[in-house]
Chain A
Amino acid sequence: MVSFQTKSNRLVFGALILLVALGVFPWLGPPVYFISLLFTVFLYVILATSWNLIGGYAGYLSFGHVAFFGIGAYATALMMKWLNLSPFWTILSSIPAGGVAGLIAVIIGYPCLRLRGPYFAVITFCFAFVVDLGIKNLDIFGGPEGLWLKSMDLPIDVIRSILFEVMMVIMVLAIAFSVWTSRSKFGAGLRAIKEDEEVAQTMSINAPKLKIQAFALSAFFPGMAGGVYAYNLTYIHADIVFDIMISILIVLMALFGGGGTWLGPIIGAVVLTLVNEGLSTFVRAEFARIIYGCLFIGVIIFMPNGIMEFFKRGQREPSG
Chain B
Amino acid sequence: MNTVLIIQSLISGIMMGSVYALLGVGFSLTWGVMKVIHISHAAFGLLGAFLAYSLLQFWGMDPILSLIVSVPLLFFLACLIYHFLIRPITQAKEVIVASMILTFGIAIILENLMLLIWSPDPRLLTISYTSKVLVLGTLYFQYPRMAGFLLSAVGVLVIHFFLKKTYTGKAVRAAWQQPEAAQLYGVNLSRISMITFGLAVSSAGAGGVGMAFLYSFEPHTHNLWLIYLFLVVIVGGVGNVLGAALAGLIIGVITGLSLAFLPYQWVNLLTFGLLMVILVIRPHGLFKGEV
Q: What is the distance, in angstroms, from B10's C-beta to the closest C-beta of chain A?
A: 25
Evaluate contact between B98 and A300: CB separation under 8 angstroms. Answer: yes
A85–B264 Cα distance when bound, in Å, is: 36
The verdict on A126 contacting B100 (CB below 8 Å), with A133-B272, A290-B109 known, is no
The verdict on A301 contacting B85 (CB below 8 Å), with A119-B279, A286-B112 known, is yes
A61–B272 Cα distance when bound, in Å, is: 20
The verdict on A112 contacting B105 (CB below 8 Å), with A126-B272, A134-B269 known, is no
B115 within 8 A of A: yes
How many A-B residue pairs have C-beta atoms within 8 angstroms? Tell me.
Answer: 108
Nearest A residue (CB) for B281: A111
A294 within 8 A of B: yes
Q: What is the distance, in angstroms, from B29's C-beta to the closest C-beta of chain A?
A: 15
A296: which B residues are within 8 A, CB to CB?
A: 101-102, 104-105, 108
Q: What is the distance, in angstroms, from B75's C-beta to the closest C-beta of chain A?
A: 21
Q: What is the distance, in angstroms, from A167's C-beta to the closest C-beta of chain B?
A: 26
A308–B235 Cα distance when bound, in Å, is: 40
A137–B31 Cα distance when bound, in Å, is: 32
A295–B104 Cα distance when bound, in Å, is: 11
Q: How many residues of B contact A (CB 8 A)?
A: 40
What 1/0 flags go to B228-261 for Cβ under 8 Å of A?
A: 0010001000000000000000000000000000
A299: which B residues are within 8 A, CB to CB?
A: 101
Evaluate contact between A286 and B115: CB separation under 8 angstroms. Answer: yes
Evaluate contact between A290 and B112: CB separation under 8 angstroms. Answer: yes
Q: What is the distance, in angstroms, from B278's C-beta to the closest C-beta of chain A?
A: 10
Q: What is the distance, in angstroms, from A61's C-beta to the closest C-beta of chain B?
A: 6
A111–B115 Cα distance when bound, in Å, is: 38
Evaluate contact between B230 and A289: CB separation under 8 angstroms. Answer: no
Task: Pick from B37, B115, B266, B279: contact of A123, CB below 8 A.
Answer: B279
A252–B109 Cα distance when bound, in Å, is: 16
Evaluate contact between A61 and B108: CB separation under 8 angstroms. Answer: no
A130 within 8 A of B: yes
Evaluate contact between A61 and B234: CB separation under 8 angstroms. Answer: no
A42 within 8 A of B: no
The verdict on A248 contacting B279 (CB below 8 Å), with A121-B97, A125-B230, A133-B272 known, is no
Q: What is the distance, in angstroms, from B91's C-beta to the closest C-beta of chain A?
A: 10
Residues from 275 to 312 in A contacting B, C-beta threshold 8 Å: 286-287, 289-290, 292-297, 299-301, 304
A117 within 8 A of B: yes
Evaluate contact between B280 and A112: CB separation under 8 angstroms. Answer: yes
A61–B98 Cα distance when bound, in Å, is: 11
Q: What is the distance, in angstroms, from A141's C-beta to the closest C-beta of chain B?
A: 13
A129–B268 Cα distance when bound, in Å, is: 10
Nearest B residue (CB) for A55: B97
Evaluate contact between B116 and A301: CB separation under 8 angstroms. Answer: no
A290: which B residues are within 8 A, CB to CB?
A: 108-109, 112-113
What 1/0 flags go to B77-118 for Cβ under 8 Å of A?
A: 000000001001100111011101110111111011101100
Evaluate contact between B106 and A293: CB separation under 8 angstroms. Answer: yes
Evaluate contact between A133 and B105: CB separation under 8 angstroms. Answer: no
B163 within 8 A of A: no
B54 within 8 A of A: no
What 1/0 flags go to A112-134 for Cβ under 8 Å of B?
A: 10110111011101110110011
A121–B111 Cα distance when bound, in Å, is: 22
B25 within 8 A of A: no
B102: which A residues are within 8 A, CB to CB?
A: 296-297, 300-301
The verdict on A115 contacting B266 (CB below 8 Å), with A248-B101, A290-B108, A296-B108 known, is no
Evaluate contact between B112 and A293: CB separation under 8 angstroms. Answer: yes
Evaluate contact between B227 and A129: CB separation under 8 angstroms. Answer: yes
- Chain A CB count within 10 A is highest, among B85, B97, B230, B275, for B97
Q: 5 new A-B pairs (CB below 8 Å) besides A114-B280, A118-B100, A304-B98?
A: A125-B230, A126-B227, A133-B269, A293-B107, A304-B94
A sample of 17 inter-chain contacts (CB < 8 A) reads A111-B280, A115-B279, A118-B37, A121-B37, A121-B100, A122-B230, A125-B230, A126-B272, A248-B104, A286-B112, A286-B116, A289-B108, A290-B112, A299-B101, A300-B102, A300-B105, A304-B93
